[in-house]
Amino acid sequence: MADSPRTSVLFVCVHNAGRSQMAAAWLTHLSQGRIDVRSAGTLPADQINPRAVEAMHEIGIDLTSRTPQVLTQDVVQASDYVITMGCGDTCPVFPGKTYLDWQLDDPAGQDLSFVRRVRDDIKERVESLIVEIDLRHISPGLSRC
């Protein structure tokens, strides 16, 4: 029996410098690479938020080699899940995708303790997402309301 295609998840925020980068790193780490993970921004920054890098480094995840990426229709179309984090209506919508909007505080310009809280909130959401993805693979007929 052939393996089913891997699930792909795209995290989107405006600058692709904080929330979406931390979410992508968490999902890659917690799924142990079994889920394809991407992140992008509608107006990507020049670099990753240094406090996000520091907060993730504290828990053993390295963001130093990552760079903000621009959101394209192709990357959305190639994803099974599109999770937005404050980009509003600027994200393209394609049928057959699962769209989620995570209301997360923006860590831009915030102190490290604030960024840690955002990091930990993202981790909890990513853990729930992994459960949802795993359930869909067990029962592919399930759909999100």
According to the model, what pLDDT value does residue 1 have? 39
- Which band of pLDDT confidence, cut at 50, 70 and 90, is reported for residue 139? low
Q: Which of 76, 87, 115, 133 is catalytic?
A: 87
Scanning the structure block, which residue is given the tokens 């480094």? 57
User: Tell me, which fold does domain 8-137 have in CATH?
Assistant: Rossmann fold (3.40.50)
Q: Which of 17, 22, 37, 91 is catalytic?
A: 91
Query: Is 13 a residue of the active site?
Result: yes
Of 5-9, 84-88, 118-122, give the range with the top mean pLDDT: 118-122
According to the model, what pLDDT value does residue 89 have? 56
Smallest Cα–Cα separation from 125: which of 89, 78, 83, 92?
A: 83
Domain boundaries, the chain: 8-137
Find the distance separating the first CA and the last CA of the chain, reported in whole Å: 31
- Decide if 42 contacts 10 (C-beta within 8 A): no
What is the per-residue pLDDT across 56-73, written as a single tens digit (0 to 9) for each?
999 999 999 999 999 999
Range in 3-12, 19-28, 48-57, 68-77 the model is least confident about: 3-12
What is the token pair recorded at 52? 């996000």
Cα distance between residue 137 and residue 143, in whole Å: 11
Q: Which of 12, 13, 118, 122 is catalytic?
A: 13
Eight-state DSSP code of residue 90: G
Query: Is 145 a residue of the active site?
Result: no
